[in-house]
Chains A and B, each alone.
Chain A
Amino acid sequence: MTGFEVRVNGRTHDDAPRPGQCLRTYLRGHGWFGVKKGCDAGDCGACTVHVDGTPVHSCLYPALRADGKQVTTVEGLATDGELHPVQEQFLAAQGFQCGFCTAGFLITAAALDDEGRADLPRALKGNLCRCTGYRAIEDAITGVKHVEEPADGEAVGRNLGAPAGPQVVTGTARYTFDVDVPGLLHIKLVRSPHAHARITGIDTAAALAVPGVRVVLTHEDAPQRLYSSAQHEIVEDDPCDTRVFDDVVRHVGQRVAAVVGETEAAAEAGARLVRVDYEVLPAVTDAHAAMRPGAPVVHDKDPVEARIARPADNVLAELHDEFGDFAAGLAEADAVYRGTFRTPRAQHAALETHGALAWFDAETGRLTVRTSTQTPFLTRRSLCALFDLPESDLRVVAGRVGGGFGGKQEMLVEDVVVLAALRLREPVKLELTRSEQFSGSTTRHPFTVEVEVGAKADGTLTALRVHVVSDTGAYGNHGPGVLFHSCGESIAAYRCPNKRTDAYAVYTHNVPSGAYRGYGLGQVIFAVESALDELAHRLGIDPLLLRERSAVRDGDPLTTASGAEEDLLIGSYGLDQCLDVVRAARAEPVGPVPGGWLVGDGAALSMIATAPPRGHFGEARLRLLADGTFELSVGTAEFGNGSTTVHRQLAASALGVATSRVSIRQSDTDLVRHDTGAFGSTGVVIAGTAVLRAAEAMVGALLGAAAERSGVDVSRCALVGRGVDCGGRVVPFSELAAGEPLTTTGHCDGTPRSVAFNVHWFRLAVDPGTGEVRVLRSVHAADAGQVLNPMQCRGQVEGGVAQGFGAAVAEHVDTGADGAVTTAAFRQYHVPTFADVPRTEVHFADVTDPLGPLGAKSMSESPFNPVAPAYANALRAATGVRFTDLPLTRDRVWLGLSRD
Chain B
Amino acid sequence: MIPAPFDYTRPTTVEDAVTALRAGGAGAKVIAGGQSLVRMLQRRLVRPTLLVDVGCLSRMREVVEEPDHLVIGATTTQHELLHDARVRAHAPLLSLVARHVGDPAVRHRGTLGGSVAHADPAGDPPAAVLALDGEIIVEGPRGERVIPSAEFFVGPFRTALEPDELLVGVRVPKMGEGWTVHYEKFRLSAQKPTLLGVAVMVRRVGDCFTDAHIALANSGSTPVRATAVEVALVGADVTEEAVTKAADLLDGTMEPFARQGVSQAYLAHLARVLTRRAVVAALSW
A669 to B102, CA, bound (A): 44
A116 contacts across to B, CB distance below 8 A? 104
B193 contacts across to A, CB distance below 8 A? 827
Selected A-B contacts with CB under 8 Å, 21 pairs: A20-B4, A45-B103, A54-B108, A57-B106, A60-B35, A61-B109, A125-B102, A125-B104, A769-B273, A809-B189, A826-B191, A827-B191, A830-B192, A832-B189, A833-B189, A833-B191, A835-B190, A889-B262, A891-B188, A891-B262, A895-B265
A770 engages B186 (CB within 8 Å): yes
Q: A60-B34, A830-B189 are in contact. Are A123 and B7 (CB under 8 A)?
A: no
Q: Which of A20, A48, A836 contacts B6 (CB 8 A)?
A: A20
B189 engages A836 (CB within 8 Å): yes
B266 CB-CB contact with A under 8 Å? yes
Q: A45-B103, A126-B105, A895-B266 are in contact. Are A60 and B188 (CB under 8 A)?
A: no
B158 CB-CB contact with A under 8 Å? no
B103 engages A125 (CB within 8 Å): yes
Q: Which of B6, B38, B55, B191 contacts A830 (CB 8 A)?
A: B191
Binary per-residue interface labels of chain B (1-41) against chain A in the complex, 1 for a CB within 8 Å, 0 otherwise: 11111111000000000000000000000010011001101
B106 contacts across to A, CB distance below 8 A? 42, 57, 126
Most central of B55, B104, B269 by chain A CB within 10 Å = B104
A62 CB-CB contact with B under 8 Å? yes
List 19 additional A-B contacts (Cβ < 8 Å) besides A45-B103, A265-B2, A898-B265.
Answer: A19-B8, A41-B39, A42-B102, A54-B108, A55-B105, A60-B35, A62-B31, A62-B53, A65-B53, A116-B104, A435-B1, A827-B192, A830-B188, A831-B191, A832-B189, A832-B190, A833-B189, A833-B190, A891-B188
A810 to B193, CA, bound (A): 13
A246 CB-CB contact with B under 8 Å? no
Binary per-residue interface labels of chain B (255-276) against chain A in the complex, 1 for a CB within 8 Å, 0 otherwise: 0000001110110011001100
B102 contacts across to A, CB distance below 8 A? 42, 125-126
B235 to chain A, nearest CB (A): 27
Chain B's closest residue to A20 (CB) is B3
Q: A810-B188, A827-B193 are in contact. Are A770 and B105 (CB under 8 A)?
A: no
Q: Which of A55, A771, A831, A833 contacts B108 (CB 8 A)?
A: A55
A1 to B10, CA, bound (A): 11
B262 to chain A, nearest CB (A): 4
B25 to chain A, nearest CB (A): 18
A45 to B269, CA, bound (A): 34
Seen from chain A, the residues whose Cβ lies within 8 Å of a Cβ on chain B are 1, 19-20, 22, 40-43, 45, 48, 54-57, 59-62, 64-65, 108, 111, 116, 121-128, 264-265, 268, 433, 435, 769-771, 809-810, 814, 826-827, 830-836, 889-891, 894-895, 898
Q: A56-B105, A126-B103, A770-B270 are in contact. Are A43 and B191 (CB under 8 A)?
A: yes
A833 contacts across to B, CB distance below 8 A? 189-191
Leading 9 A-B pairs by shortest Cβ distance: A126-B103, A835-B190, A20-B3, A891-B262, A125-B103, A833-B190, A60-B38, A54-B108, A891-B266
A57 to B99, CA, bound (A): 18
A19 to B261, CA, bound (A): 37
A40 to B53, CA, bound (A): 21
B192 contacts across to A, CB distance below 8 A? 827, 830
B42 CB-CB contact with A under 8 Å? yes
A889 engages B188 (CB within 8 Å): yes
Chain B's closest residue to A104 (CB) is B105
B7 engages A19 (CB within 8 Å): yes
B263 engages A891 (CB within 8 Å): yes
Residues 229 to 270 of chain B near chain A (Cβ within 8 Å): 261-263, 265-266, 269-270
Seen from chain B, the residues whose Cβ lies within 8 Å of a Cβ on chain A are 1-8, 31, 34-35, 38-39, 41-42, 51, 53, 55, 79, 99, 102-106, 108-109, 186, 188-193, 261-263, 265-266, 269-270, 273-274, 277
Chain B's closest residue to A127 (CB) is B103
Chain B's closest residue to A434 (CB) is B1
Q: A20-B5, A264-B2 are in contact. Are A125 and B190 (CB under 8 A)?
A: yes
**From DSSP, what is the main secondary structure of chain B's interface residues?**
mixed
Q: Which of B51, B79, B104 contacts A123 (CB 8 A)?
A: B104
A57 engages B2 (CB within 8 Å): no
A60 contacts across to B, CB distance below 8 A? 34-35, 38-39, 109
B263 contacts across to A, CB distance below 8 A? 891, 895
B108 contacts across to A, CB distance below 8 A? 54-56
B27 to chain A, nearest CB (A): 14
B5 engages A19 (CB within 8 Å): yes
A65 to B9, CA, bound (A): 11
A769 contacts across to B, CB distance below 8 A? 273, 277
A125 engages B191 (CB within 8 Å): yes
Chain B's closest residue to A265 (CB) is B2
A325 to chain B, nearest CB (A): 44
B269 contacts across to A, CB distance below 8 A? 894, 898
A814 to B259, CA, bound (A): 14
A530 to B272, CA, bound (A): 33
B84 to chain A, nearest CB (A): 15
B53 to chain A, nearest CB (A): 7
B105 engages A45 (CB within 8 Å): yes
A573 to chain B, nearest CB (A): 37
B189 engages A40 (CB within 8 Å): no
B65 to chain A, nearest CB (A): 25
B189 contacts across to A, CB distance below 8 A? 809-810, 830, 832-833, 836
A814 engages B261 (CB within 8 Å): yes
A45 to B6, CA, bound (A): 26
A654 to B257, CA, bound (A): 63
A42 to B106, CA, bound (A): 8
Chain B's closest residue to A806 (CB) is B189
Q: Which of B4, B42, B186, B190 contacts A40 (CB 8 A)?
A: B42
A834 to B106, CA, bound (A): 17
A65 to B55, CA, bound (A): 9
Q: Which of B79, B105, B261 contacts A108 (CB 8 A)?
A: B105
B4 contacts across to A, CB distance below 8 A? 20
A551 to chain B, nearest CB (A): 33
A347 to B103, CA, bound (A): 23
Most central of B1, B103, B261 by chain A CB within 10 Å = B103
A45 to B102, CA, bound (A): 12
Chain A's closest residue to B258 (CB) is A828
A22 engages B191 (CB within 8 Å): no
B2 engages A126 (CB within 8 Å): no
Most central of A48, A57, A123 by chain B CB within 10 Å = A57
B209 to chain A, nearest CB (A): 22
Chain A's closest residue to B274 (CB) is A770
B51 contacts across to A, CB distance below 8 A? 62
Chain A's closest residue to B187 (CB) is A890
B20 to chain A, nearest CB (A): 15
A59 contacts across to B, CB distance below 8 A? 38
Q: A125-B191, A895-B266 are in contact. Are A22 and B105 (CB under 8 A)?
A: no
A433 to B42, CA, bound (A): 12
A264 to B42, CA, bound (A): 13
Q: A41-B42, A42-B39, A810-B188 are in contact. Are A56 and B109 (CB under 8 A)?
A: yes
B266 to chain A, nearest CB (A): 5
A126 contacts across to B, CB distance below 8 A? 102-106
Chain A's closest residue to B51 (CB) is A62
B265 contacts across to A, CB distance below 8 A? 895, 898
A61 contacts across to B, CB distance below 8 A? 34, 38, 109
B2 contacts across to A, CB distance below 8 A? 20, 264-265, 268
A59 to B42, CA, bound (A): 10
Chain B's closest residue to A62 (CB) is B34
A814 to B103, CA, bound (A): 26
B28 to chain A, nearest CB (A): 15
A48 contacts across to B, CB distance below 8 A? 105
B53 contacts across to A, CB distance below 8 A? 62, 65
A268 engages B1 (CB within 8 Å): yes
A19 engages B191 (CB within 8 Å): no
A810 contacts across to B, CB distance below 8 A? 188-189
B1 engages A433 (CB within 8 Å): yes
B219 to chain A, nearest CB (A): 16
